[in-house]
Each structure stands twice: as structure tokens, then as C-alpha cells.
Homo-oligomer: A and B are copies of this chain.
């Protein structure tokens, strides 16, 4: 059986996984709200962000409490500090989902996404959902293979992001400037969402291997 301290650490790990679930659900619903011009769904994403923020505060309070009372060193210390960094990434991912939902709300009853970009934005939403689910798996299982896969999802997000710019700059774009600004910002939100998921996974890899990959390639030694 694990001692009380390590049970607390397990609990913070569970809370981080829960944050990935909430952030993923928020981005998935924000994407639907955006594509379907669903104002009710947009409002619910905006309101639900408070849950993610509250979870971060709770996690941080527990972490500070553990640092003060348990005076951890070595690996335990690093786990706590890394957990606080991951919770900051995940809190920010919640904000980015909220930003997407706010664009949906601003353009209601229209959709902010013109027909030519629906498929691309749908896919960005799906990659976002997938990448944060994998970040959750990496936290829960410390599985480095999943961390490598996740980097590939991020490459996919970058490819979709470039596709968005290509469409904005093509002859076919005749949806005006307001839609172009929305789409430029939305593209950025999805890209940053994926970046933060990558950052979460890299922090776990760093905890496990002691190696930080700024530009991650699958050369990590998988045990």
C-alpha cells in the first residue's frame, strides 16, 4: 500500500487527467458550436471554463500544501513542480476553448466558418480532442509511445493550420475581412491548444527520462 503522501500525489495526477478531459470536452463542444452556430453550446463552454480554473486552483493549493508539509526532495519534488506547470498548460487550454466559443457567440446566428473551411476546422477540432486525450493518457500511464504519437498529431495540426492560411490567401476566398480575422484567430487558438498539449506530454517525458526535447523526435529511449 502507498503512504498518504504518495496517495496525494496519485490524486493530483488524477486531477490533471480530469483537466485534460474537461479541456478536451470544451474544445470539442466549442468546435461544434462554431460549425453549427449553436449559441447554447457556446454559452455552456464559456461558463464551464470556471470548472477548469477551479480545478487548477485546487491542484495548486494541494501542491503548495504538499511542498510545505511533506518537504519532498528529488523525484517527488519534481513531480509536484511539474504538476503545477501542467495544470497551468491545461488551464490555458481551457481558455483557448473558451476563446473559440466566444467567436461562435459573436457571429451568432451566422457560423464564423465559411463552407470552404468547414472540413478543415472540423478536423482541427478532432485533432485537438485527440491530442489532449493522449496528453491525459501520457499523464496516467507515463507511456512514452503515446507521447511520440502526440507529437505527430501536433504536426497534423500545423499542416491544417497552414491549410487555413492557404485558403485565406486563395482566389476562392470571398467571405470578406471579418470572417478572415475570425478564422486567423481561430486557427491560432487551435494551434496553441495543441502546443500546450505537447508541452504537457514533454513534461511527463522529462520526468520519466530526465531529457527535454525542445524539438521532439522519436529518439527517446522507450524503456
**Interface hits, A131-166 → B, CB 8 Å:** 165
Let me know if A168 is at the binding interface, CB within 8 A.
Answer: yes
Main secondary structure of the interface of A (DSSP, over half): helix
Let me know if A9 is at the binding interface, CB within 8 A.
Answer: no
User: Is there contact, CB below 8 Å, between B81 and A73?
Assistant: no
Let me know if A85 is at the binding interface, CB within 8 A.
Answer: yes
Nearest residue in B to A164 (C-beta to C-beta)?
B181
Contact residues in B for A64 (Cβ distance below 8 Å): 77-78, 81
Let me know if A68 is at the binding interface, CB within 8 A.
Answer: yes
Contact residues in B for A71 (Cβ distance below 8 Å): 71
User: Is there contact, CB below 8 Å, between B84 and A81?
Assistant: yes
User: Is there contact, CB below 8 Å, between B181 and A165?
Assistant: yes
A selection of 5 A-B contacts at a CB cut-off of 8 Å is A64-B81, A67-B77, A165-B181, A169-B181, A177-B180
